[in-house]
Structure 1
Amino acid sequence: MTKTTTRDTILIGVFLLLSIVLWNIPTPFDDRIDDTADQYKGAVLSVDNSQLQRHSLVTVGVQILDVKMLEGAHKGEIFTVTNPLMGRLDIDKAFSVGDTALLVVTHTPEGKIDTIVPQDHYRIGLELGLLCLFALLLILFGGKTGAKALLSFIFTGLVLWKILIPSLLLGVDPIWLALAIVAILTGTIIFLVAGLSRMGTVAFLGAMLGITSSCILAIWATSAFKLHGAVMPFAETLLYAGYAHLNITQIYVAAIFVAASGAVMDLAMDVAASLQEVVDTYPSISRREALLSGLRVGRAVVGTMTTTLLLAYSGGYVTLLMAFMAQGIPVINMFNMLYVAAEVVKTLVGSFGLVLVAPFTASIGAILFTQKRKSAQPQKQLSTVLQNP
């Protein structure tokens, strides 16, 4: 076993252990979960819609459902439950015969069933199936690298749920917290994929410089554009739920560079890997030539990555733009509105970090990759490589 393989194995073991620990540690908010309620899967056997009233696009009233419990102590038993529809398309759920529902069952102190609420359609099985299919394809295609990428995916999800979200609710400074979380995740993802190598170090440093730049710009833009965190979904709901002490504007700032961090580290890894390949192929390359080569690679990748970021963000607010266009709102009015301006800032600030991460990574790589070079090799083909990266 080589030294590199040993380091990779140790690194995988460490993050696997950390993932197990994160999975098992409780959050400070776990005690708020109602321990008198249980969740079970149930099959909808019959539906009575006689008490529903339809008004244009919305439906109000109550559905009467017969559901069969598919698990738990009452498995096989049939219950009649109600499903109120409030006329809100974003939260209402209408059931049909043959659907599977997630049933929230509460009990009396004596242990008998008190209420049964059909919370929503049961989607957990499909979600787990998609996750398993994703993991299988990732491992089949990527092999050991795919397995490490899957581990970093799981670790990232656990860090966000077990550390970032509870810490924000506890009032920890959102910007510094998010920077620390992003640094941990960036290091985890990059070093798991690239190993504890010079390439991983270059990619990590380049990515963090790009993310820090996005953070600084996001702080300025939020103030200059007079934006606040209420533009985020459920922000007001959170404030009215007893968390009025939270600085939702700083949470919005943190969300901007956290959302862009994945694309930033991806670009940093692309530039670092390409630059190392050039230096390994031509060990006699000068620092200046290595820098120029890295910049050329970065220039080619940035052109597509910024558009990727635009498409990723725009997909989240396409209905908002459709509504404004349908109402005939002028473009200048549209882009001057709070919600649209907030999305514009999110997109441009993330793209700003992407543009900067390429020169940052190329500069760091030119310094680190050209240190302790091997004996010079002929360079007559080098000009061709630099002209046609």
Structure 2
Amino acid sequence: MSDHGHAHPGDVELDLPSATGRALTWVAVALAVLTVVGMAVLWPDGSGQDAFIDSGFTREYVDAEVVAANERPCENIPDGYATETPVCGTYTIRLLEGPDAGLELSQEVFDVATGSRFAVGDVLVMAYDPAVGDLQLEPGVTLPQGAEYSIKDRNRKAPLVVLAVLFAVVVVALGRLRGLAALGGLVATIVLLLAFTLPAIIDGRNALAVAIVSASAIAFLAIYLAHGVTTMTTVAVLGTLAALLLTALLGWLFTNAAQLTGFANEEATYLAIGSAKISISGLVLAGVVIGALGAIDDMTVTQVASVAELHRANPDYGFRELYAAANRIGQDHVASTVNTLVLAYAGASMPLLVLLAVTDQPLAGVANSELIATEIVRTLVGSIGLVAAVPLTTLLACLVVRRGSVVAAAH
């Protein structure tokens, strides 16, 4: 890819005629206000979470430690079971926190050979459901103490924290202040998703509207935090929003045309059982829009920077020459990024792809299954939005820079 692709729109400033600068600013401000208004209208009230609590789908989680392990051949094996000699485990577990901290309880695990094998000293996450303790097997007979707890998973917090810290150190070491700003954008994105996007969808708000508003807010936050508030970063934001709207429109058209219901996995079924408010098909659309955002804003930032650098290096370029040169840079970027999107989705679905491969289904049959069709729509719609971001952003950037003069920004 051309060296221009590594520039940043915050590295240059644009001296524009006052009328052009005001128009660009007003468009950005208007879109920002619409985003804030959209968030206010769609802001969650917590009713969806309450519905999940009433349905018994929420659990509390506590840490526990394995203090004894006893593994043995399983008894009463079902006919035709996949494992000829499954191993069962009885584990004594001490709760490390919660209302029953210090309590030791026994947990039975069937076929630990194909599941998780725990050793003494392992720290686990236990699901706590207080309602289970009130159940009665028969009148006057209650479940034993500790029946409210069940093994959820291993505790992986420590390595995840170490990895997150390592990631932050690498980003700041290489990017310095810009890397620190990018981390700020990442944190803002996570906070917005957790505080607004997910709760709003759980509350039954229109998932596509929530996704568009969320993506718009993330675009403003991430781009301005990482690259500064300049005319050229504003152009990048506008190009990102234009490409996102196109992506949302195509996603809506093709999820409906392909009749994607969203019920392609167990998680969707659980959500539907837990709350009737959530639109499962809407989740597919929301995933398309938000999933495409990261690649699109990378593309628009690169294109805006490329146009600015080309114009600064070649101020005599006419509009067509500038647009053609910047578009060539975008074509290189598209070629690599589209492949990245496909590989990212394939990597996330690798166990499923392997399972489908061993079933020896024809390719057309595999693609027709809703689970794979959903990923195909997600990948292709996102890729079209990504490709469209190049001419859209390049056109806007060329129109803007041709009206002013580009100079190096003061840092």
Of 281, 293, 309 in structure 2, the residue corresponding to residue 249 of structure 1 is: 281
Between the aligned residues of both structures, percent identity stands at 23
CA RMSD of aligned residues (A): 3.3
Deviates more, 1:174-183 or 1:324-333: 324-333
Q: Residue 195 of structure 2 corresponds to which residue in structure 1?
A: 162
SS at 2:260's partner residue?
coil
Counterpart contact for 1:186–1:265, Cα < 8 Å? yes
Matches within 5 A, 1:364-375: 364-373=396-405
Give the aligned residue type for 2:93.
V
Q: Which moved more, 1:299-308 or 1:210-219?
A: 210-219
* Residue matched to 1:382: none
Q: Which moved more, 1:228-237 or 1:349-358?
A: 228-237
What secondary structure, in the 3-state scheme, does the structure 1 residue paired with 2:405 have? coil
Superposition map of 1:118-129 within 5 A: 118-129=151-162
Q: What is the CA distance between 1:341 and its match in structure 2? A: 1.7
How many residues matched?
345
Q: Which of the numbers 77, 82, 100 marks the counterpart of 2:107?
A: 82
Structure 2 equivalent of residue 98 of structure 1 = 121
Determine if the alignment matches structure 1 residue 141 to structure 2 residue 174: yes
Correspondence list, 1:239-318, <5 A = 239-243=272-276, 245-318=277-350
Contact map agreement 2:311 2:322 (CA 8 A) in 1: yes
**Within 2, Cα distance between the matches of 1:61 and 1:317?**
29
Within the alignment, does 1:131 sit opposite 2:195 as a pair? no
Contact 1:62 1:82 survives alignment (8 Å): no
In structure 1, C-alpha distance between the alignment counterparts of 2:398 and 2:288, rounded to whole Å: 29
Q: Distance in 2 between matches of 1:333 and 1:94?
A: 37
Higher RCO (CA < 8 A, seq sep 6+) = 2
Amino acid at match of 1:63: G
CA distance in 1, matches of 2:368, 2:108: 41
| Match among 358, 365, 378 for residue 326 of structure 1 | 358
Match in the other structure for 1:193? 226
Correspondence 1:45 to 2:67: yes
Could you tell me which amino acid in structure 1 is paired with residue 197 of structure 2?
Answer: L
Is the Cα–Cα contact under 8 Å of residues 89 and 111 in structure 2 kept in the other structure? no
Verify the 8 A CA contact 1:68 1:78 in the aligned structure 2.
yes
Q: Following superposition of structure 1 onto structure 2, how do residues 163-242 of structure 1 map, counting pairs within 5 Å?
A: 163-231=196-264, 234-242=267-275
Q: What's the offset of the Cα at 1:255?
A: 1.1
2:236–2:300 CA contact under 8 A, matched in 1 = yes
Corresponding residue SS for 1:230: coil
Structure 2 vs 1, CA of residues 58 and 300 (structure 1 numbering), >3 Å: closer, same or farther? farther
Structure 2 counterpart SS, 1:63 = strand
Deviation of 1:334 after TM superposition, in Å, equals 1.9
Residues of 2 paired with 1:202 and 1:351: CA distance?
21
Verify: 1:65 aligned to 2:91, yes or no: yes
- CA deviations over 1:32-75 (Å, ceiling 9, x no partner): 499x9865433323212237457434998963223345567887
Please give the secondary structure, in 1, of the residue aligned with 2:121.
coil
Paired residues of 2:74 and 2:111 also in contact (CA < 8 A) = no
Farther off after superposition, 220-229 or 330-339:
330-339
Q: 1:310 to 1:232 in 2, by over 3 A?
A: same
Compute the displacement of 1:27 (Å).
Answer: 5.6
CA distance in 2, matches of 1:219, 1:42: 45
Deviation at 1:93, TM superposition (A): 3.9
CA change 1:232–1:254 in 2 (3 A) is: farther
Corresponding position of 2:185: 152
- Separation in 2 of the partners of 1:37 and 1:306? 40
SS of the residue corresponding to residue 64 of structure 1 reads: strand
Higher mean displacement: 286-295 or 297-306: 286-295
Q: SS of the counterpart of 2:321? A: helix
**Structure 2, gaps ≥5 residues long:** 1-9, 12-43, 135-144
Partners of 1:58 and 1:147 in 2: CA distance: 54
Q: Which residue of 2 aligns with 1:384?
A: none
Provide the rounded CA distance (Å) in 2 between the counterparts of 1:82 and 1:281: 70
Q: Deviations over 1:122-175 (max 9, x none)?
A: 111222221111111111111111111111111111111111111011111111
Q: Is the 8 A contact 2:307 2:397 kept in 1?
A: yes
User: d(CA) in 1 for partners of 2:67 and 2:294?
Assistant: 45
Could you tell me how far 1:268 is from its partner in structure 2? 0.8
Give 1:234 shift.
Answer: 0.8
Change (3 A) 1:196 1:95: same
Is the 1:178–1:258 contact (alpha carbons within 8 Å) kept by the matching residues of 2? yes
Letter paired with 1:350: G
